[in-house]
Amino acid sequence: MESLIREWDGESMIIRFDRVAEAFIIIAVHSTRLGPAIGGTRMKQYPDLDSAVLDAQRLAGGMTYKWAASGLDAGGGKAVISLPSDLDPKMRDDLLRRYGAAVKQLNGLFLTGPDLGTTSEDMDVIAESGDPYIFCKSPDRGGTGNPGPLTALGVFTGIQAAAKQAFGEATPAGKRILVQGLGSVGQGLVKYLHKAGAEILISDVNKTIIQQFKEDFGFEIVPPDAVYDESCDIFAPCALGGILNQQTIPRLRCRAIAGAANNQLEVPEDSIRLKERQILYTPDFIANSGGIIGVISMETKGLTRKAAEEKIVRSITDNLSCIFKMASDEDITTDEAAKRLADERLK
Ligand code: PHE
C-alpha cells in the first residue's frame, strides 16, 4: 500500500474506512492543473484494498487525459467505493450519504458523477449531502440524468472514425461489430449501430440482458469466453478495463477497436502489440469522452442537449482524425498520439 501511494504520479489520495458499512471510500485526485478534479464514482467489490486503490489511481489518471484531450477545463480524479461482500442493501443509501458528505468536505477539490456500479438515482442520494459537487442527478432534481446515451453517441462517433481509417468509409453499415458489455453505454451503442445498418454481435455475462436484445433485435450472441477469438471488423469493449493484454491480443481477429471501457490496455506496451498486429486502436479516453463532454456542456455551460450532442460528435471526430494522422505520420501508436495531444494541453 505504501509503495502504491508513494509511486503514484497523482496529487493526492484520500482513503476513508466507513466503519458502519465496512466499506472503503477512496478518492484519487490525479491532477488539478486544468481545473478541479472531476470523475465518476465506481462502486463494487474488490479482492483487497490495494486493488481498489490501484483502480482509483489508474482511472483518475485516465480522467486527466480525457479532460485535457477534450479541451475542457477540469482535472482528473476518480472515487472508488470498495464494498464488503455482504453489504445489506438497506445500508446502501446511508453509505452514499456519508460518501456525499466526504465529497462536500473537500470543498470543490473533487466533483463526481456516475460510473460503473452507480446510477443517476444514486447521484440524487449522494447530492443530499454532497451538493453542489454532484453531476448527473435525475432531471427532476435539476441534473442531466444518465450520461450513458451521451457516452454511447461518442463511442458511435469513434467507431465511425475508426471505420473511416481502417476501411476508407466512415460508416458502420455492413460491418461486423462485436460489442462486449451491454451496460447503459453498450445498450445505447447497439441502438445507434443497429440504426446505421451494422451487423451486430453482443456479449455480456448477464444472460437476461443478452436474451432480451436477441429477442428485440435478433443480434447474434457471443459467449463471454469466446469474445477474443470471434472474427469481426470492429471490436467495441464496453465492459471492464485491462482486457487488451499479452494474452488476448494475439487471439484477436478484428481490424479495429473502439469502445467505451476505461483503461482497455492492461499496460501501455499493449498498444505496441496492437500496432504490430495492425489492429487500429481507438484510444479509450477519446472514444469514451462523450459523457463528460455532454454533461459538462449542459450542466455548467448551459448548452441544450442538441448542442451538446453536436459538440460530442465534433470533438471526438476532430480529435481522432488528428490522432490517427499523427500516429501514421510519426509511426507511433495511437495511444501515444492521444497522450501527446493531451500533454500538449497540460503543458
Ligand atoms: N464515468 C464517467 C467517465 O468515466 C465519469 C463522469 C460522468 C464524470 C459524468 C462526471 C460526469 O467518463
The continuous run of DSSP H or E covering 75 comes out as strand 75-82
Nearest CA to ligand 1 atom 6: 40
Comparing CA positions, the residue from 74, 192, 150, 189 lying closest to residue 310 is 150
Residues 6+ apart with CB under 8 A from 41: 78, 79, 80, 81, 99, 112, 113, 114, 115, 118, 122, 126
Ligand 1: which of 30, 72, 115 to mutate, judged by most atoms within 8 Å of the beta carbon? Answer: 115
What pLDDT does 57 receive?
97
Q: Is the pLDDT of residue 277 over 90?
A: yes
Distance from C-alpha of 76 to C-alpha of 64, rounded to nearest angstrom: 4
| Predicted confidence (pLDDT) at residue 50 exceeds the cutoff of 90 | yes
| Nearest-CA residue for atom 12 of ligand 1 | 292
Task: Decide: 262 in ligand 1 pocket, CB within 6 A.
Answer: yes
Please report the pLDDT score of residue 205 as a whole number: 95
Q: Give residue 22 CA to ligand 1 midpoint distance, Å.
A: 25
pLDDT tens readout for residues 167-176: 999 999 999 9
Place of cell 469466446: 226
pLDDT tens for residues 30-49?
999 999 999 999 999 999 99
Does pLDDT of 259 surpass 90? yes
Spatial separation of the C-alpha atoms in residues 334 and 318, rounded to whole Å: 14
Cβ of 46 less than 6 Å from ligand 1: no
In angstroms, the CA 120 to CA 113 distance is 8
Any ligand 1 atom below 6 A from CB of 183: no
3-state SS class at 280:
strand
Residue 259 CB less than 6 A away from ligand 1: no
Going by alpha carbons, the residue nearest to atom 10 of ligand 1 is: 113
Select from 280, 285, 281, 274 the least CA-distant residue to 316: 285
Residue 25: band (very low, low, confident or very high) from pLDDT cuts 50, 70, 90: very high
- For residue 165 the three cell numbers come to 481509417
CA distance 138 to 168: 40
Helices 120-130 and 92-105, packing angle to 10 deg: 50
Is 116 in contact with 44 (CB distance < 8 Å)?
Answer: yes
Q: What is the pTM for the complete model shown?
A: 0.94
pLDDT at res. 55: 95
Check whether 28 has a pLDDT greater than 90: yes
Calculate mean pLDDT across residues 14-20: 97
Ligand 1 within 6 A of CB of 292:
yes
CA-CA distance, 178 to 221, in Å (whole number)? 9
Ligand 1 pocket mutation pick from 292, 297, 298, 315 by most atoms within 8 angstroms of CB: 292
Is ligand 1 within 6 A of the CB of residue 62?
no
- Using one digit for the tens of pLDDT, what is the confidence trace for 64-97? 999 999 999 999 999 999 999 989 999 999 999 9
Pairing of strands 220-221, 23-31: unpaired
193 vs 218: CA distance, rounded Å: 13
User: In the predicted model, is pLDDT for residue 347 greater than 90?
Assistant: no
- In the chain, the percentage of residues whose pLDDT exceeds 70 is 100
Angle (CA) 333 337 343, round 5°: 140
Asked whether the predicted pLDDT for residue 276 surpasses 90, the reply is: yes
78 is catalytic: yes
Atom of ligand 1 nearest to the CA of 78: 5
d(CA 338, CA 202): 28
Helices and strands in the chain: count of H runs, count of E runs = 12, 11
**Per residue in 216-232, pLDDT tens?**
999 999 999 999 999 99
Whether 290 is in the pocket of ligand 1, judged by its Cβ within 6 Å, is: no
**pLDDT tens-digit series, residues 135-153:** 999 999 999 999 999 999 9
Ligand 1 centroid to Cα of residue 247, in Å, is 29
Task: Find the mean pLDDT for residues 195-219.
Answer: 94
Cα 66 to averaged position of ligand 1 atoms, centre (Å): 10
* Residue 240 pLDDT grade (very low, low, confident, very high; cuts 50, 70, 90): confident
Q: Residue 80, SS3?
A: strand
Q: What CA–CA distance (Å, rounded) separates 87 from 44?
A: 11
